[in-house]
Structures are given as structure tokens and as C-alpha cells.
Amino acid sequence: MKIKKLSLAIAALGVASATPAIAVAADDGMQVNLDLRTFYMNRDFDAGIPDTIAAGQAFRIEVLSPFWHDMIGVDVSAVHVAKLEGDKTLNSSDVLTPEGDGYTTLEQAYLKLRPIENVDIKLGRMILMTPLLNDLTSRISAPSTQGLHATAKLGSGSLYAIYSDKASMNNSEKFEQYRVGNETYDIKALGATYAFGNGLSTHVQYAVAQDYQKQLYLNASYPTKAGNYDLLFDLTHMRGEDDGDLYGADYDSHLTGLTGRLSRGNWAYTLAYQTVGGSDGYNQQWGGADNTQFFTWGAVQLLDFNAADEQSLQVRVDYDVASVPGLHLMARHTESWDIDYAGGDDGQRRETNVDAKYTLQDGAAKGLSFRLRVAHADGDEAVVPRINDIRLIAEYKTNLL
């Protein structure tokens, strides 16, 4: 796996960086942040599929302005990914380009407006984090979205609206229109959140790409106590349908997840059940260069457990090591059944994950973190090939101004 070579590269580059974060309002003055991130992936496939080995070093610079006159500002971030290891592959790692090269991209560049108190508007290229349109930052750099995002805070709730006409993948220099063949379209979304006085929080979002697809997201989360234990109950329901001829077929699917989490002290235990109904597996992406991912407990390192008629059950344990401050361990296993696939209707698959992350708590390199992520997925040969996935991540973020 060439880990020795990677270790030398990390040392030579002064080690790594932080996950790209959503830019926030810098009300107290200009901010300039430098993020460094080293990312290594080794993905081994079965069934004659070529393996993927890739490593890169990301340098991310972020400039956040204050709101001048309490009304207007500009935020910009750019990323350069230098190739450390990897070649062109049939199975993109999303660490390098599909050709196996590094890249440079203008990740975010948007105008931010605050026309009245509690109303914020962003216009341009940005990292979005909403359930139905998002740019998750689990790889070496983040994808991003071009459009408009407006948010209004209303007491314990909020309303937001999104319009987008282009998006980028997280390993690409290009922003591309949402498209199917030669036909292009845009995406519109409305959402709302509300937190009740008893701790219950809710989130609803509706999004549509005209003539392509429409989706609905509903979520309710409720924390409570059971003696000396903290309890969290989470219910999520998603529904997707085609919206016209561009989808290319009739499409109807819904996904429901129910999760319980019990925690006390340094330990947390999670049990999550997910089921997919309707005529098809659930498709959360919008076509073109969109890289939207699931906001569900059932979406793990490799699989989303979103196939037609699939049911899955996940058991997860988290532990903050008391004797080593800054060390977090996680183990998780997800098992699924009843998958409807070509030639059968009782397919099975599973994934096991182990995750260890250590963050320095003091000293000159305070905040520097190292993370190991290991995943193994397998199941019926017609449903999923065997996959072994190892990721090593080092990251560090510092403020330059």
C-alpha cells in the first residue's frame, strides 16, 4: 500500500489540513485561513475490477470578509491538490482527477448580503449543506454549487430557499450545468427548520429539477434522558419521483430511517434501521456534475443501503478514550436484506467500518489530526462486489490573519 512512501510525503509537506468548512460571516474583521490536508486511499475490489490507489496534498486558502456597513461582503476560497500517488483508473477515487492528476479550483466565490437583520443571502459559488442539495467534505476537497442561497431566521425556526444552475465534482476544476444528454435544467429548493421548547427539532425540504426529478425530505430529532443516560431518537423520511421526460423512465421511491442513540460519559451506542420502498432504489443525486450525498444514518463509508426494497440494520459504538484525550474510536456494522435486483428479490449486502481519529490537544501543532478509516463491504455477487477500503487522513487548519 506504499504507506512508507506516503509517510515521507506527509513529513516533507509539514503534514496536512482541515476539512473544508462552510464559510461563515466574519463580523469581527477580515479572516484568512489556510487548510492543509493529506489524503491517501487504497481501495481493493474483487471480481476482476481494477484497484484504486491514490494520494494527494490539498492546500486551501480561504478569505472571509466582514459585512461592510452591516450589509455586504465577499467570501472566496481556492484549492490546489498536488498529486502524491496515483494513475488513471476506471474507478475514480475522487482524490485526483479521473486521469490521475492534481488540480486547482476556485471552490467558493460569492457575494453575501444582509439586507435586514436575520436575513442572509449568498450569490455565487458556495459549499451547501442541506439534506437534498449538499457538498459533503469527506474527501480531499469539497464539491461546490453555483447559485443563490437565502436564509431567514425566525425565532426558534428558519426558512431558506436555494436556486442552482451549475455544480462541480470534488475532483474537478469545472462547474457544469445540470444535464441529461444535451438537455440542461436548474434546481429550486425550499426548506424550513424549527426547534421546539421540549428539545424536539424538525427539518423539512422540498426540491425540484423541472422535467427531471423532485424530492421531499422530512426529519424529526428528539433528545431526552433515561436515568443517567442521554437518549436521541431520530426519524427521517425521503420521497423521490421523476418530474418529466428528462429522467428517462418512471421513477418512484421512498426511504425511511429510524435511529436510536444511547450515550453516557465517553461511550455512545447507536441502532439504526432503514427501509426503501416504492418501485425503485432511492436516487438522491440531480444529474450532471452534482455530488449530493445522503443525510442519513444508513449512508456509511462505501454504501448508502438505498437499493430497491432494501432493508438494513446498523449497530454502532463510539468511544472517546479517557486515558488519551483527543482520541476517538468508532466501530460500525450494517447488514441489509430483501434487495430487489435483476434476477432476484432477496439480495443481501453488508459493510463493516472501523474509524480512529486523534487530535493534538496542545502545543505548537494543536488541532493537528490524524485519522484512519477502514471499510469492508460484500454481499451477493449480483448486488455488490467485495470491497476493502483504507483511508489515511492528516489535517490542520490555521488562521493567517
**Using one digit for the tens of pLDDT, what is the confidence trace for 136-177?**
888 899 999 999 999 999 999 999 999 999 999 888 888 999
Distance CA 244, CA 253 (A): 15
- Tell me which residue has cell 459559488: 125
351-401 pLDDT per residue, tens: 999 999 999 999 989 999 999 999 999 999 888 889 999 999 999 999 998
C-alpha separations of 198 from 113, 203, 221, 295 in Å: 33, 16, 11, 24
- Tell me which residue has cell 489540513: 17
278 neighbors 307 (Cβ within 8 angstroms): no
Q: Where are the domains of the chain?
A: 3-399
Residue 12 has pLDDT above 80, yes or no: no
Average pLDDT along the chain: 91
* CATH code for the part of the protein at 3-399: 2.40.160.10
C-alpha separations of 241 from 210, 244, 253, 299, 329 in Å: 11, 9, 7, 20, 38
C-alpha separations of 353 from 271, 314, 372 in Å: 15, 11, 11
Distance CA 194, CA 197 (A): 10
Distance CA 377, CA 397 (A): 32
- How far is CA 244 from its chain centroid? 28
**What is the number of residues in the chain?**
401
71-100 pLDDT per residue, tens: 999 999 999 999 999 888 766 678 999 888
Distance CA 328, CA 359 (A): 9
Q: What local confidence, expressed as pLDDT, does residue 21 receive? A: 38
| 3-state DSSP assignment of residue 283 | coil
Q: What local confidence, expressed as pLDDT, does residue 93 receive? A: 73
Average pLDDT over residues 99-116: 94
**End-to-end C-alpha distance for the chain, whole angstroms:** 39
Q: What local confidence, expressed as pLDDT, does residue 28 receive? A: 60
Residue 4 has pLDDT above 70, yes or no: no
Q: What local confidence, expressed as pLDDT, does residue 138 receive? A: 85
Q: What local confidence, expressed as pLDDT, does residue 6 receive? A: 39
Q: CB neighbours (10 Å) of residue 354?
A: 15
6 neighbors 57 (Cβ within 8 angstroms): no
203-237 pLDDT per residue, tens: 999 999 999 999 999 999 999 999 999 999 999 99
* Gyration radius of the chain over CA positions: 22
- For residues 304 and 385, the model is more confident at 304
Label residue 64 by pLDDT band (50, 70, 90): very high
Give the largest Cα separation in the chain, rounded: 64
pTM: 0.90
Average pLDDT over residues 1-23: 38
Find the range with the poorest average confidence among 21-30, 100-109, 236-245, 263-272.
21-30
- Any residues with CB less than 8 A from the CB of 153 and at least 6 apart, and which? 118, 119
Half-sphere exposure of residue 81, counting CA atoms within 13 Å on the CB side? 29
Residue 8 has pLDDT above 70, yes or no: no
Q: What local confidence, expressed as pLDDT, does residue 173 receive? A: 82
Q: What local confidence, expressed as pLDDT, does residue 20 receive? A: 36
Distance CA 17, CA 35 (A): 5
